């Protein structure tokens, strides 16, 4: 049985939950949007920070910590953005770090988005 995690993030009009818990695992995808659902301006650093803040908020809404995160998949739209995203990302984790993969993609759901993450966290039973 899956359970939606209630957050204070912008309520999307798309048929989605910001996070769900099922089988002892939280699954989430996060994007660089503000409280009004607008993609933040300011380039990759601002978007990476907003994405990670949204992610941290979601983890905490599930009554977990960033130490519970087991895997993160990072998507950026340009290879040059990855070092900037990595710098922001490092502010949110301590060793032992989650498993991670990074992909450079041609585009994301919203044209102005430069990054997105998909992540998983262990949920104590």
pLDDT single digits (tens) 55-87: 999 999 999 999 999 999 999 999 999 999 999
Low-confidence stretches of the chain (pLDDT beneath 70): none
pTM score of the predicted model = 0.97
3-state SS track over the chain:
CCEECCCCCCCCCCCCCCEEEECCEEEEEECCECCCCCECCCHHHHHHHHHHHHHHHHHHHCCCCHHHEEEEEEEECCHHHHHHHHHHHHCCCCCCCCEEEEEECCCCCCCCCCEEEEEEEECCC
pLDDT at 125: 82
Structural domains of the chain in order of their starting residue, each with its CATH number:
3-122 (3.30.1330.40)
């Amino acid at each position: 049985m899956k359970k939606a995690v209630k957050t204070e993030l912008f309520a999307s009009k798309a048929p989605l939950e910001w996070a769900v818990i099922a089988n002892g695992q939280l699954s989430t995808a996060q994007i660089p949007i503000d409280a009004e659902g607008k993609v933040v301006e300011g380039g990759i650093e601002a978007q990476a920070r907003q994405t990670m803040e949204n992610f941290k908020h979601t983890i905490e809404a599930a009554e977990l910590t960033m130490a519970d995160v087991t895997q993160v998949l990072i998507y950026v739209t340009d290879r040059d953005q990855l070092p900037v995203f990595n710098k922001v990302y490092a502010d949110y984790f301590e060793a032992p770090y989650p498993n991670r993969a990074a992909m450079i993609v041609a585009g994301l759901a919203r044209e102005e988005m430069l990054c997105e993450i998909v992540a998983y966290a262990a949920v104590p039973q």
